[in-house]
Structure 1
Amino acid sequence: MSSPDGRPDPDPDGVDRAGVGTAAGDAAADGIRVSVVLPAFNEAATIEGTVRTTVGTLEGFLPNDAFEVIVAEDGCDDDTPEIADRLAREDDRVRHFHSDRRLGRGGALEFAFERAAGDTLVYFDTDLATDMGHLEELVAKIDREGYDVATGSRWIPGDEADRPAKRGVPSRGFNLIVRTVLRSRLRDHQCGFKALSREAFEELHEAVEDDHWFWDTELLVRAQRRGFRVAEFPVEWEPQGDSKVDLVRDVFGMGSQIVRLWWQLSVSPRITRTRTVAAGVVLTVAALALMTVYLDPSAVLAAFEGADPAPVAAATLVYLLSWPLRGLRYRDILTELGYREKLGFLTGAVFISQTGNLVFPARAGDAVRAYVVKARRGIPYPTGFASLAAERVFDLLTITAMAGAVLAGLLVTDGTSAVAAAVSANVPGVPPAAVSRAIQVAAGIGVVAVASLFVIVATARSDRNYVRDVVSRFSSDSYVDYVAGVIEEFTAGVQTVAGTRASFARVGGVSVVVWTLDVVTALLVLAAFPAAVESMTVTQLVVVGFFAVSVGNLAKVLPLSPGGIGLYEAAFTALVVGLGGVPAAVAFAAAVLDHAVKNAVTVAGGVVSMIGFNVSLTDAVDETAELDEEGEPEGSEFPSDDD
């Protein structure tokens, strides 16, 4: 409903809260039992007829003062807002909520339900595809029969609606997947003809994450999982006009939502720390054991025995030098976020978090660092997580750029032929031509990765939102907002430290040095094995080392095992064998030793830092797990070094 002077009340977030507050309170005092919400997007041609039909139908079975009809107008760019305003002025039982921006179908419904007066909340599509003769039955399911949620169904056996194939086939497939994957007992989850009690809405709507077409399905599935009484009854339904559902865009989008909801309901609750650690250990052991199928363990042991300890010691020192640089980079990132801390403390915090990543899978150590800087220096959790995101983005970009640069160099210098010949010689049965084509494709991808780096940097350093500009060219749907949001979250990591050109160059430059030292560590370890030195020239050693370490670390991006153990060794071994012609047993021994040196330095530094900071790794993980579930944990402070 509009404000008393007939004009909508503006709101800073772009949502007009006209008719909210006093109007809602007065409505409740007048005894309104039923609130019907009509989600509307560009419905100028039909909205007046829909509202009048709805009011007339409700008058047929409810007292005139026992209901309200709300037009939840969702960022329309036609005459729908003006028509809805006029209808609200003409009839006090009609209200209008306007949004200047798209909330999505589910978002518009939630916004209206939160401000509705009735205890029975009803909604249906404005095209009136469902026969309005069923409205009394829908309301009665909640208002009189005591169900918590009610939904019409076009697919109850014996009462199937006659739908065109282009709508019927995807609908049946979608409902079958939902019943199978999400264990729903309902036949039709997307029929736009539903009702629920105020109590059910209050408990469910915070949990429902989708704000568009999947909102209905998620509401029904969560209601069943929480034990609410859900009624499904057959309705007469006839399609009206063209569907607003994009069968390509929305099918894929809703498919991703099914996977997300399945994970949240069926998988995530079963992931405990004990199970996670156990699974990570099993995966690590299995990955390493699998290598023995292809490698002779005695040959690997012989390779270890023949290794020169001097290069290994040098590798340990080189890798140790990279840690103050990690602390320096983290200091620069925090400085851009408004917090200045000492290099020693931040280096220790990085040590502790990386030790956590070795002990716990799923990169739980990243959250540990946010806990450490919060508990010891009072840096808020949002800032701690933002700084971690920025660091991880720079790590990923640097590793990708290094691998891409090596591949691009091979492409430009026609080095793919030599590499292809080396791979074919070490992997019998693989023709050089096929390998060469594969490397050329990979090199092309590497070039794209490097180019993407510059695009991301340009986007992050510009006031213009290039990401949303490009993505929105394909559609203005709320799923596009979701896709754009994911990309923007990634670029935000760069933007965090892109406030000045100097800070961006400093963080980016330190990242390159950190990962170069990581590669040099691996090269020194390789140099400890005579067979590796004999198989490659210095140039080959450098190229293979950069590429193997880069790809090995990219393999660790998947948080499947603690510290990526097993994943790193497999990727490193395959590339050193394929590109460098090094015997497989020697390559595997070098991969294990390289990873062992790095992990030993990390754990040693982590233990010293935990003792110095009086930090318990398990307590930190527990605190951050509590943060994920309930918000910022209480009682997580303990005295700082200055107390």
Structure 2
Amino acid sequence: MAGHPDGTDGDPSDPARVESVGNRTEGVGGETTDRDVTVSVVLPAYNEAETIEATVATTLGTLAAFLDPGTFEVIVAEDGCDDRTPEIADRLAAEDDRVRHFHSDERLGRGGALEQAFEAAHGDTLVYFDTDLATDMRHLEELVERVRSGEADVATGSRWIPDNVADRPAKRGVPSRAYNGLVRAFLRSDLRDHQCGFKAFSREAFEALRDDVGDDHWFWDTEMLVRAQRAGYEVAEFPVDWEPQSDTKVDLVRDVLGMGSQILRTWWQLSVRPRLSKRVGLVAGGGLAVLALVLMTQYIDFGTVLSEMRAADPVLVGAATVVYLLSWPLRGLRYRDILAELGYRERVDFLTGAVFISQTGNLVFPARAGDLIRAYVVKARRGIPYPSGFASLAAERVFDLLTIASMAGVVLVGYTVTGQTAELARAVVGAEGAGRVAVAVALGVSLAAIGAVGAIALSARSDRDYVTEAVHRVSTDSYADFVAGVIGRFVGDLQTVAGTRRGFARVGATSVLVWTLDVVTALLVLAAFAPGLPLVELVAVSFFAVSVGNLAKVLPLSPGGIGLYEGAFTLLVVALTPLGPELALGAAVLDHAVKNLVTVVGGYASMLGLNVSLTTAVEETREVRGTEESPKLD
């Protein structure tokens, strides 16, 4: 290295040398002292070998035109480049004492690189702009003086104020307008353009806001602007002439989706979290539980349910409720065994409660979001990392699907032997509405489950890293490596659970028990309607109808699978028995209602017992990001 930003020889023992944890970050070159510098301009650079020298020269020339000599510095915040940018930046810093170079061996993200450089900068006015110089540099003096004069705490250029000139191609302009609209709507920002790479901060504002900003990449400056407005700082936005100089480095799929999630995170932190309390959480949990019941009325005719229930034997319905309730400790036991295979020891009662809460969430939220709530709960309460939490859920779902598909397959073989499959096929092909859709979905889910298990098994026996190869087909930067690492850990954990004989046997056996009790529940409900079926036929149709019904509701086409389950159950009972459709539908509705009511009551009781609600479960995860992992088994 050519030297140190403070004029030292760059000795690693020198306390002035900039260091970052787990990462070599250095300052190189420069003789200007911190007493003289009032303006620090940071150029975030990633693989800018072709342009960085010209950019630095232009920046120095522009600053020298309106600032006194020795009062400004230019910092190249070089973020894990793999081209010649570090060498060029080293040379520039050695040749000109107004230039400093900060290098990171690993990608910090644009926001992370800016934070590192601003922290080490000497000036009280902190400026940055994109190295492609897309913004006309004649605006630099206005940007600097807005903050240096005290007129504003934060200043930002805007490409969307009517007075500017901005050549925005559609592939950039349309997503940018949509993004800025979302920021204004969700985060109540008054600005028109949050992403223009042309901003300045006072040292005071930067130091006050930096610890609250959660993103370290493209959303960093947007969050700084939003939080500055919320904190009462004066934010000045002014029009700039802007013309793209190169293709954008923003991935319109990966980064836009990522920034969308950051908008939701910031909205939650700024608008929702301050209004939450323990009482609000408990009331919200109760409200969501009630909502689960209300949603059921959107999919089924409760007039039919009530009329059929009048003829049902309440003793058998009560027995069915007790049987289904007994399956829940087994669910907690199975989840304990899955986590044990991943190296985490937890209590069955806590895990049973977590399963209750997540399944209640599945009745309320779309897309089986309750599964995510369970990952939140075990992360918040026990510090189990999200990849392991998601892998444990995936393992549970894999065993569920394999067990249900196997049960349905065994019964189907029996029907084939007795010659009933042709009649069954005619009934399915001739059916309409939810029944036909449900059976088709069940078939698709079964095939997908078998394919997924096969893919995981094959990848476990191969030396090739299929996950990384697949991710790199989309992107090859460090963020893609991070995503590949998370997915790889997820798949690895999933393979760990199913990869040992002991683990597979324990979890598999418990899964069979769980779903057998689920079938017995339906069997007792069907028997409560006194269908007069022989026991063998009653058992067979119950196993088959429940299995196909549960396979059908795997896809989140309705809350809790309501409608799909009843459709599949009714279609198969009518096709395989002499029972009429009204009785079959009544039994299906009552069976599903019993199970959903037990789930809702158990879920709400678990929320009270664990002092967790569906809302606070999400909230608490924001406060445990730094929590250590649970103790591993010896």
Shift of residue 135, structure 1, vs aligned partner = 1.3
Matches of 2:424 and 2:255 in 1, distance apart?
44
Matches of 2:286 and 2:318 in 1, distance apart?
31
Residue aligning to 1:563 = none
Shift of residue 151, structure 1, vs aligned partner = 0.6
1:135 aligns with 2:140: yes
Residue aligning to 2:333 = 327
Residue aligning to 1:545 = 546
How many residue pairs get matched? 594
Matches of 1:57 and 1:256 in 2, distance apart?
38
Shift of residue 230, structure 1, vs aligned partner = 1.0
Match of 1:40 among 21, 45, 69: 45
Residue aligning to 2:500 = 501
Distance 1:141 1:514, change over 3 A: farther
Range with greater deviation from structure 2 (285-294 or 178-187)? 285-294
Task: Give the aligned residue type for 2:127.
Answer: V
Residue aligning to 1:394 = 395
Shift of residue 38, structure 1, vs aligned partner = 0.8
Residue aligning to 1:201 = 206
Distance 1:479 1:469, change over 3 A: same
TM-score by length of 2: 0.77
Q: 1:460–1:494: 8 Å Cα contact kept in structure 2? A: no
Q: Which runs of 5+ in 1 are unaligned?
A: 375-380, 559-565, 635-643
1:577 aligns with 2:582: no
1:299 aligns with 2:304: no
Distance 1:193 1:420, change over 3 A: farther
Matches of 1:102 and 1:313 in 2, distance apart?
60
| Post-superposition CA distance 1:462-494 (Å, at most 9, x none) | 887532332022212466456546635643652
Residue aligning to 1:116 = 121
Shift of residue 549, structure 1, vs aligned partner = 3.4
Q: Which runs of 5+ in 2 are unaligned?
A: 365-369, 575-580, 628-634
Matches of 1:102 and 1:292 in 2, distance apart?
53
Structure-to-structure mapping, 1:373-452, within 5 angstroms: 381-383=382-384, 389=390, 391-402=392-403, 421-422=426-427, 427=432, 435=436, 443-452=443-452
Match of 1:337 among 333, 343, 353: 343
Task: Give the aligned residue type for 2:500.
Answer: R
| Post-superposition CA distance 1:543-574 (Å, at most 9, x none) | 22123235557759x9xxxxxxx735544323
Q: 2:229–2:235: 8 Å Cα contact kept in structure 1? A: yes
* RMSD value, Cα: 4.6
Distance 1:552 1:89, change over 3 A: same
Residue aligning to 1:93 = 98
Q: 1:39–1:109: 8 Å Cα contact kept in structure 2? A: yes
The percent of aligned pairs where both chains have the same amino acid is 43
Residue aligning to 1:491 = 491
* Secondary structure, aligned partner of 2:26: coil
Shift of residue 226, structure 1, vs aligned partner = 3.1
Matches of 1:522 and 1:479 in 2, distance apart?
48
Distance 1:29 1:211, change over 3 A: closer
Matches of 1:213 and 1:385 in 2, distance apart?
23
Residue aligning to 2:593 = 592
| Post-superposition CA distance 1:2-33 (Å, at most 9, x none) | 5566799998977331129xx99x97743432
* Secondary structure, aligned partner of 1:15: coil
Task: Give the aligned residue type for 1:179.
Answer: R
| Post-superposition CA distance 1:580-635 (Å, at most 9, x none) | 335322211122234456777x689x89xx9xxxx95338999978854544999x
Shift of residue 82, structure 1, vs aligned partner = 0.7
Matches of 1:242 and 1:626 in 2, distance apart?
39
Distance 1:89 1:508, change over 3 A: farther
Match of 1:567 among 560, 566, 587: 560
Residue aligning to 2:236 = 231
| Post-superposition CA distance 1:377-436 (Å, at most 9, x none) | xxxx324978755543322222344456678999998999865643576657x9x9xx48
Residue aligning to 1:158 = 163
Matches of 1:144 and 1:508 in 2, distance apart?
67
Range with greater deviation from structure 2 (133-142 or 542-551)? 542-551
Shift of residue 134, structure 1, vs aligned partner = 1.5
Residue aligning to 2:292 = 284
* Secondary structure, aligned partner of 2:139: helix
Range with greater deviation from structure 2 (414-423 or 151-160)? 414-423
Task: Give the aligned residue type for 2:287.
Answer: A
Matches of 1:82 and 1:282 in 2, distance apart?
64
Matches of 2:379 and 2:196 in 1, distance apart?
44
Task: Give the aligned residue type for 2:143.
Answer: L
* Secondary structure, aligned partner of 2:292: helix
Matches of 2:611 and 2:43 in 1, distance apart?
50
Task: Give the aligned residue type for 1:349.
Answer: F
| Post-superposition CA distance 1:501-557 (Å, at most 9, x none) | 24542454245335333433334334423466759765443222123235557759x
Q: 1:35–1:116: 8 Å Cα contact kept in structure 2? A: yes
Structure-to-structure mapping, 1:162-181, within 5 angstroms: 162-181=167-186
Matches of 1:367 and 1:44 in 2, distance apart?
43
Distance 1:29 1:408, change over 3 A: farther
* Secondary structure, aligned partner of 1:295: helix
Q: 1:153–1:234: 8 Å Cα contact kept in structure 2? A: yes
Distance 1:618 1:396, change over 3 A: same
Q: 2:284–2:613: 8 Å Cα contact kept in structure 1? A: no
Q: 1:544–1:580: 8 Å Cα contact kept in structure 2? A: yes
* Secondary structure, aligned partner of 1:213: coil
Task: Give the aligned residue type for 1:472.
Answer: H
Matches of 1:167 and 1:384 in 2, distance apart?
36
Residue aligning to 2:577 = none
* Secondary structure, aligned partner of 1:296: helix
1:316 aligns with 2:315: no
Matches of 2:599 and 2:59 in 1, distance apart?
69
Shift of residue 232, structure 1, vs aligned partner = 0.6
Residue aligning to 1:348 = 349
Matches of 2:106 and 2:237 in 1, distance apart?
33
Match of 1:51 among 45, 51, 56: 56
Matches of 1:247 and 1:55 in 2, distance apart?
33
Distance 1:220 1:622, change over 3 A: closer
Matches of 2:531 and 2:20 in 1, distance apart?
65
Q: 2:110–2:216: 8 Å Cα contact kept in structure 1? A: yes
* Secondary structure, aligned partner of 1:211: coil
Task: Give the aligned residue type for 2:472.
Answer: S
Q: 2:39–2:124: 8 Å Cα contact kept in structure 1? A: yes
Task: Give the aligned residue type for 2:611.
Answer: T
Shift of residue 122, structure 1, vs aligned partner = 1.0
Task: Give the aligned residue type for 1:474.
Answer: V
Matches of 1:274 and 1:220 in 2, distance apart?
34
Residue aligning to 1:522 = 521
Match of 1:19 among 27, 30, 54: 27
